[in-house]
Chains A and B, each alone.
Chain A
Amino acid sequence: MLQLKTFPKGGIHPSQQKISAQASITYGEIPKQLLIPVNQHIGRTANVVVKKNDVVKRGQLLAQASGFISSNVHAPVDGKVMKVFRFSLLGGAIGEVIQIQPDEPGKSYREVLEQDVELSVDLNKLTAEEIRKRIQEAGIVGMGGAGFPTHVKLSPPPEKKIDALIINGAECEPYITADHRIMVEQPAQIIQGIKILKKLFPEVPVYIGIEDNKPDALNMMDKAAAQEEGIFVVPLKAKYPQGGEKQLIKAVLNREVPSKGLPMDVGVIVQNVATVLAIRNVFYHNRPLLERVVTVSGSLVEHPGNILLPIGTPVSYIMDKFNIDRERVRLLLAGGPMMGRTCHSFESPISKTTSALLFFDEKAFVQRQENPCLRCGNCVSVCPMGLDVAIYVQMIQKNKLDDYAKEHIMDCIECGSCTYVCPANRRLVHWMRLGKRIIKREN
């Protein structure tokens, strides 16, 4: 067994709560209606290219990327466009959605997937240019949570020499097991995706980083990677935020992405396992990004699980499917408890970046009264970026940032470890986010 790797500074060990770790991925049915968010990525909002009453086919373009850093959106099922309107999205924002009335509501989504023929892919015939173009057309974005358009990440400027690829299977957030299940159930397919990526960066070693709290995933990926050259599985210590891009690079390769820099500055590109699987499906099924695995868990979910759903499925469908009592839900989280967002509507749809939906009653919520900072330094000692959180936050609260604070606040990865350990219950990462906004506005 290899020695476990980890990032050296900071981090926390929240209760893992991976209740759904052994629940195989299930398939839902096509819901009665889908609400496809137009903006599911970081970058410019896509332009809607369909209108009311248009008939759309599965895989048809609904919204076109409006620039390089933007992403296409496609119809996950056959149906009719009912309306394009603004609606609450998961995470609290209001954004444009395309409402689609499916032709076959109630049909098993598994059947829909089985209709997609498996194509044979000749890697030798694929050119790097073609791979990038098809990934771009397919609307692939980072499915780990950030939603950065994948084709942009895969197109580093020529002066940035890439000498390592890292596949992120750390999944360090509590509760979430979507990536875990993908790795256990579809290791061969993930490897196929990696081999497509390797065509873009020939001869570059690929490291698959997985936390050691997923021994079955480590085992399956290790077996699948064993037959391949230049693909290595790297067991990581279970520590939050091991899956943070910069922390992962530090853990796997002992390289530090410079302050305000990108992974490509140290010759690395990181892709999440779910993203790699989506890339694989572009080539093996000619299928754009239409669905994703979502972990459904939390104290109100009797049988937590992982379910493959078409993008745009409303939360209410999932609540019916998992028998979740609406009256009792007080806290709906999109994503994990560390970085996820609270949501305010059961009708909001899932998007390309929704890794989990967590349902809790009020007991899960701690009423927090913010007390004065004791300068205990807990926030500083757990900060994986080495930031002097307590000191910056005092400046942010007074809106008086000095040059030193401005120099470092932008490096905050918003992992929330500081808030987690603060004895005075201060919403430190919240203030740090505000500080980042202040600095962005000034520039």
Chain B
Amino acid sequence: MEAKNLLIMDSSPLGLAGESTRKIMYSVVLSLLPALGVSFWMFGWAAVRVVVLTSLFCIALEALIAKFFNSKIDYLDGSALVTGILLAMNLPSNAPWWLLLIGSIVAIIIGKQVFGGLGQNIFNPALVARVFLLISFPLQMTSWPVPGQFDGTTGATPLGILKTEGVGAIAKLKTADLALGYVGGSLGEISALALLIGAAYLFYKKYITWEIPVSFIGTVFVFTAIFYWINPQQYASPVFHLFSGGLFLGALYMATDMVTSPISGRAKLIFGFGCGFFTALIRLFGSYPEGVSFAILFMNAFVPLLDRYFPEKKFGMQS
């Protein structure tokens, strides 16, 4: 019998819902467009340059690894692109090209491929790169161009001002400006609103769930509110903490990364709480102005434990 006439043998189920890795990854890219749009508006071509370069670097690096080490890697599956864009959103728009290249190398090679590639990494690759750059190149990583000013003026982020100059210095910042993005910061830190719009799409597609963002942001709010209530002269308001820095970027896009977050709902709540707790701790008492990246990376390490000890409730296990 000719091969074409043979019956197909496979294991059930034969039908599929039609989801795919590519669909998920490119949906994440799509959802990042509003935030990218805002940062392009605020920082101009410099921001476009950062995003394009990190994306290209990340995809090219993954393609190189696919060529030389593991031909099974699909470097166009969108995951390298997502890492590239998220890395860009963590960087200042005036970052030199070599900083972008080093960041991409750390993200793709050390953050992802040494663990075994997609799905195997313990830590969020873009955050590994950000923290690496922050520690290695503090100067380049803390001089933030001011949005809407294209003359190369740099300044500190609101959280940086808070850390160095105290609560009085941030009093003039308006909450609306913080939420919409008229403040200094990295590409993705600036507009909470644009990030929320993008994340709403991911919620709709069910690619992210509410647990991590809500418990993360909620914990930061409650924790900072307690200290604000104790002493408003020394501590900034919870609203300020909510809309400054990378909280929304971290809570909506970094902490919800499927690969590096827990699976069950309960574990996600605890994970989000941990992220929020350590973010607030670092912001209020640490030496760095911002703690989102450190907090998420720290909690990433607990994911296997959380998966193991707070799993989905099993059928037939009710007491």
A338 to B263, CA, bound (A): 24
- Residues from 188 to 224 in B contacting A, C-beta threshold 8 Å: 207
Check if B311 is an interface residue, CB within 8 A of chain A. Answer: yes
* CB–CB A429/B12 < 8 A: yes
* CB–CB A374/B119 < 8 A: yes
* CB–CB B312/A340 < 8 A: no
Chain B 1-32: CB-based contact to A (< 8 A → 1; otherwise 0): 00001111111111111011101100000000
- Residues from 269 to 319 in B contacting A, C-beta threshold 8 Å: 307-308, 311-318
* CB–CB A380/B312 < 8 A: yes
Q: Which stretch, A41-49, A152-160, A180-188, A385-393, touches the partner chain B?
A: A385-393
* CB–CB B316/A421 < 8 A: no
- Count of B interface residues, CB-CB < 8 Å: 40
B114 → A minimal CB distance (Å): 15
A283 to B77, CA, bound (A): 62
Check if A375 is an interface residue, CB within 8 A of chain B. Answer: yes
Check if B34 is an interface residue, CB within 8 A of chain A. Answer: no
* CB–CB A427/B11 < 8 A: yes
A425 to B307, CA, bound (A): 22
* CB–CB B19/A421 < 8 A: yes
Check if B117 is an interface residue, CB within 8 A of chain A. Answer: yes
Chain A: interface secondary structure?
loop
Q: Which stretch, A69-77, A305-313, A327-335, touches the partner chain B?
A: A327-335
* CB–CB A330/B7 < 8 A: yes
- Count of A interface residues, CB-CB < 8 Å: 67
Contacts of A362 in B (CB 8 A): 8
A419 to B15, CA, bound (A): 9
Check if A347 is an interface residue, CB within 8 A of chain B. Answer: no
Most chain B CB within 10 A, of A342, A421, A423, A427, is at A423
Contacts of B14 in A (CB 8 A): 331, 333, 337, 340, 342, 364-366
* CB–CB A423/B12 < 8 A: no
* CB–CB A388/B311 < 8 A: yes
* CB–CB A332/B21 < 8 A: no
Check if B264 is an interface residue, CB within 8 A of chain A. Answer: yes
Beyond the given A256-B316, A429-B13, please list 14 additional residue pairs across the A-B interface where CB-CB is below 8 A.
A258-B316, A259-B314, A327-B5, A330-B8, A340-B12, A342-B9, A342-B10, A344-B7, A372-B119, A375-B263, A380-B263, A411-B316, A423-B20, A423-B24
Which 6 residue pairs are nearest across A and B when measured between Cβ atoms?
A: A416-B13, A423-B19, A372-B119, A259-B316, A377-B263, A430-B11
Question: Which B positions have Cβ atoms within 8 angstroms of A?
Answer: 5-17, 19-21, 23-24, 74, 77, 117-120, 207, 258-259, 261, 263-264, 307-308, 311-318
Question: Which A positions have Cβ atoms within 8 angstroms of B?
Answer: 9, 12, 14-15, 92, 174, 246, 250, 256-261, 327, 329-333, 335, 337-344, 362, 364-366, 368, 371-378, 380-381, 383-388, 390-391, 404, 408, 411, 416, 419-425, 427, 429-430, 433
